[in-house]
């Protein structure tokens, strides 16, 4: 059994009083040869490597047959992969790097112990994955991956063996279309209905607009039934529960589309930015990252809404003001909510640094809160890796009581690059 070190927030706060953060520190690429430490929370861990300098396990999804779908990035790039975040200057950041000779995007399927079943190259940056576990017929357990290529929105479907089923391209005149996520709604005779969300950006504009559509996917063809455009912001994630589509993003935090009433309602403060969703059947949890009030850091936070009446139940800022934190993915298991991302000693955002070094490096992290109250459990922050290294969890997927967290860690010598990182954790141990 392999395991990974955790520190409580209390210990981290003590450490922060002795560590000074200077500009020259966060404009450097600091790497050490110290491997991540071990503890008894990790049942197994797998590393993925590439011939290029970076390998990042961007997304995972429960494939429905005791395996995992995944999306990965391999390449040499200064671009940071934090999902959609809002920089301290207010601009939206979404990685969209297209493949080149030195950059490769892949999707595939792996067993839960890390044994590769198949992989495919992808012509665009992959956004969060959807496993169509509720679909029927030829689409049962298929994989849906969305993105943008050459200003076109993309929706690609592959069956459980990796055979392509659909490759849809959405074009709008003088507009860049980015599709972030697809969600199953209901089965039809020849396929299923679905919702997709993302955003559009007019050519030459610095502003984006949340975009969503309802569609049918039948006989390997996609046809749009209805489209919706917000007045600002972006849509980032979507899930279906209680005959409603919950849509997260920025401005608003959350939108709820009632399929019976055919009505879209915005909820939450327009200044917050939330990107990922999860549900335990009674509540919807919205997690993400926002600029701190002083504009000097990023802060991870999570919010709960009641499915019964769509009211906000609680709000939780997970980390201390002395730290940078990123909330990149969320999962609900029973009465526990888990959020993963990154955690680093406070270092000021500096756009004069190159894009790779403008943000601090640090630990991959996992936090858990009580689903009913939002209270943090004891030992509420688990840190994986080392402060001097660059590690990050990009995703968390729950399969029963087992949590799979994926991302990357860099504990090799200078120039050797990061490894993709997949951890197998037992939710009952937290």
Q: What is the DSSP string of 344-411?
A: EE-----TTS-TTTSS---EEEEEEEETTT-PEEEEEEEEES-TTSEEEEEEEEEETTEEEEEEEEE-
Domain that holds residue 419: 9-429
In a domain, 2, yes or no: no
Give CA 219 to chain center in angstroms.
30
Q: Write down the pTM of the prediction.
A: 0.82
* Count of residues making up the chain: 430
Residue 104 within any structural domain of the chain? yes
Residue 310 in domain = yes
pLDDT value of position 78: 41
pLDDT of residue 414: 45
- The number of angstroms, rounded, from the C-alpha of 30 to the middle of its chain's C-alpha atoms is 25
Residue 322 lies in a domain: yes
3 belongs to a structural domain: no
Domain assignment present for residue 111? The answer is yes
Residue 405 is predicted with a pLDDT of 92
Q: Is residue 161 part of a domain?
A: yes
| Count of domains observed in the chain | 1
Q: What is the pLDDT of residue 198?
A: 93
- Domain-located, residue 1: no
Q: Which residues of the chain have pLDDT under 50?
A: 1-38, 78-93, 95, 271, 348-349, 355-359, 412-415
* CATH number for position 272: 2.130.10.10
């Amino acid at each position: 059994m392999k395991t990974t070190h955790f520190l409580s927030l209390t210990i981290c706060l003590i450490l922060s009083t002795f560590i000074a953060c200077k500009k020259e520190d966060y404009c450097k690429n600091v790497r050490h040869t110290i491997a991540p430490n071990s503890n008894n929370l990790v049942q197994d861990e797998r590393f993925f490597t590439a011939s290029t300098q970076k390998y990042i396990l961007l997304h995972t999804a429960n494939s429905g047959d005791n395996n995992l779908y995944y999306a990965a990035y391999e390449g040499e790039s200064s671009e940071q992969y934090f999902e959609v975040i809002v920089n301290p200057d207010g601009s939206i950041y979404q990685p969209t790097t297209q493949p080149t000779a030195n950059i490769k995007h892949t999707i595939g399927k792996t067993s839960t112990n890390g044994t590769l079943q198949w992989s495919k190259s992808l012509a665009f940056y992959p956004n969060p994955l959807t496993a169509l576990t509720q679909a029927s017929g030829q689409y049962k357990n298929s994989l849906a991956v969305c993105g943008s290529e050459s200003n076109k929105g993309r929706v690609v479907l592959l069956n459980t063996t990796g055979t392509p089923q659909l490759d849809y391209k959405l074009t709008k005149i003088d507009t860049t279309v980015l599709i972030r996520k697809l969600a199953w709604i209901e089965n039809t005779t020849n396929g299923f209905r679905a919702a997709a969300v993302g955003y559009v950006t007019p050519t030459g504009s610095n502003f984006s607009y949340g975009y969503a559509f309802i569609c049918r996917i039948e006989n390997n063809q996609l046809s749009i039934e209805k489209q919706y455009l917000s007045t600002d912001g972006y849509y980032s994630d979507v899930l279906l529960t209680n005959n409603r589509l919950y849509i997260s993003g920025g401005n608003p935090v959350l939108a709820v589309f009632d399929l019976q009433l055919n009505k879209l309602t915005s909820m939450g403060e327009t200044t917050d930015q939330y990107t990922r969703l999860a549900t335990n059947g009674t509540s919807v949890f919205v997690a993400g990252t926002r600029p701190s009030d002083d504009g000097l850091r990023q802060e991870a936070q999570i919010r709960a809404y009641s499915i019964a009446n769509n009211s906000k139940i609680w709000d939780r800022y997970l980390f201390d003001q002395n730290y940078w934190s990123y909330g990149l993915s969320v999962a609900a298991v029973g009465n526990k909510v888990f959020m993963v991302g990154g955690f680093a000693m406070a270092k000021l955002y500096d756009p004069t640094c190159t894009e790779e070094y403008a943000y601090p490096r640090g630990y991959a992290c996992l936090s858990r809160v009580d689903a009913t109250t939002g209270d943090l459990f004891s030992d509420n922050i688990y840190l994986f890796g080392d402060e001097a290294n660059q590690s990050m969890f990009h995703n968390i997927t729950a399969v029963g009581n087992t949590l799979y967290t994926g991302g990357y860690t860099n504990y090799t010598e200078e120039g050797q690059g990061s490894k993709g990182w997949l951890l197998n954790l037992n939710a009952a141990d937290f």
